[in-house]
Amino acid sequence: MVERFRSQVGTVFWVSLAFSVVFVVWGVFFTASLAAVFDATLTYVVSSFGWVYLIAVTGFLVFVAYLALSRHGRIRLGKDDERPEFSTIAWISMLFAAGVGLSFLFWGVAEPASHLGTTPYGLAEPNTTEAAGLSLQYTFFHWGLHPWAVYAVVAMAIAYFSFRKGGGSLISATLRPLFGDRVEGALGKVVDVLAIVAVLFGVATALGIGAQQMNGGLSYVFGAPADSLPVQFVVIAVLTLAFLISAATGINRGIKILSLVNVTLAFLLMLFVLFAGPTVFLMETFTESIGRYLGELAPMSFQTEAFGDGSWAEAWTLFYWAWWVSWAPFVGTFIARISKGRTIREFVMGVIFAPTIVSFVWFTVFGGTAIHLDLFGNGAIAETAATNLPQALFDTLASLPLGFLISIVALVLVSIFFVTSGDSATFVLGSMSTGGSENPSALVKIAWGLVIALFASILLVAGGLQALQTATITAAVPFAVVMIAICFSLYKSLAAEARESEEARRSLLERGAERLSRPSGGVANPAPSRDR
């Protein structure tokens, strides 16, 4: 095992690990200093570059839409004769699995309820019907087309350069058209390290949120202390041990079964809430929210709060855009691997629209139920969300028939999602830090699993959810620049391929025309005789 570890690791692994060790030591021994630096960095990033996030993420959406609708949409992510490995139904199911996770469970109630109590940009009076409409409109915005466009950029680039051009599956390999062989040197290593750092903070944020959600569930179901750091540390320790055992032993079959069970349970939980809750209200809410979202998509995409203090955009839109960027190398790698053989047009339509629709349904069911409780019942979910976000989900479930039992199901879902997310993250980080290895060493995966757990714990100590959000926004900035470069690189390669294809077609037509105009060889036929 040790020999295999030594043979796989190199500069990217050691530099990334060194950064991680410095961050962990800083966080453990100088927590207040770390929090102060993050806050100062956040203030600078948001005030100076918040607009860059908004333009970049919207630009990613426009970019992938253009590729799908242009002549490039016919290009296959693989060789011309290759066909998809998975059926369309299976592929969409896996995209759904990629999109359903810890974040769905945490924010499904928490975000719409938060917007109901504190409306986006102060556009309506809190806890009113107008606030309810805005709450789902902006929730759809944060979980709709934009995040999946971010994932699509990275996934498409990895799939194209790996399966069609025969390059590696590393992020650095997607920049070869711009930088040539320099991606094999220091420049490529810097890019891969930036991708690893982005994933570390993105996944650590998700696991930190998952620990908070588990704490809320344990408090409701078993009476554990609410919003307790010791409880959250125990959750992280126990569930990290579970996914480290999986990473070390390679129990892939078990993780696949857990993933299937989780997606099934999540779907059944959603159906239960839909039919046990205010079903007709939820159907009407879904319909109206789709219209509001589509009607306000452009204004929301460029809303910087230039004439305000920027606090709402910082806490929500900028955080989400940075979070999606930080998750892009992780989710993008997974999507690329399951999308081999599909055309760019098929890829974009599937990756952008299928998970977006699932997101809209999920947030309508859970968020809409919470909103209905607050507006027409005796609920106080918005108040709960303002003081204890993780508790909002369980307070909503408690209002339904079999609420206690359903809360236990939700608790099980959170724990399994934690394990499967951690296991997948250790594999992707292991692969990225060992030159794109398809089978990274168990020691490499264990190292990254421990780093993720330590990152999540330190960020919780440094300030809970606020620290998690701050770290994500600041850490994702460098990789956002890398993603912009990926767009230029991918377009350059696609344009070159289109020119080569056009030249080949023109050459073929010219040869065909020349062949048709050339006199036939051999003896000419004699003229017909006039003799009778």
Domain boundaries, the chain: 1-498
194-198, 471-475, 493-497: which has the minimum mean pLDDT? 471-475
- CA 70 to CA 415: how far, in whole Å? 43
- pLDDT band of residue 61 (cuts 50, 70, 90) is very high
Mean pLDDT across the chain, nearest whole number? Answer: 87
Query: Which of 35, 329, 303, 298 has its CA nearest to residue 172?
Result: 329
Q: How far apart are CA 147 and CA 356, in angstroms?
A: 9
Is pTM beyond 0.85 here?
A: yes
CA distances in angstroms from 210 to 247, 267, 286, 308, 531, listed in the order given: 19, 19, 27, 32, 102
Give the whole-angstrom CA distance, residue 396 versus residue 414: 16
Beta bridge partners of 343: 76
Q: Is the pLDDT score of 388 beyond 90? A: no
CA–CA dist 53, 321 (Å, integer): 7
Q: What does the DSSP 8-state code read for residue 183?
A: G
β-bridge mates for residue 76, sequence order: 343
Question: Tell me, what's the pLDDT at 191?
Answer: 93
pLDDT(308) > 50: yes
Phi, psi angles (nearest 5°) of residue 452: -60, -45
The alpha carbon of residue 304 and the mean position of all alpha carbons in its chain are separated, in whole angstroms, by 22
pLDDT value, residue 532 = 39
For residue 525, pLDDT over 60 is answered with no
Domain 1-498: which topology?
Answer: Amino acid/polyamine transporter I (1.20.1740)
Structure tokens at 492: 């350059």
Class of residue 60 by CB neighbours under 10 A (exposed 0-12, middle 13-18, buried 19+) = buried
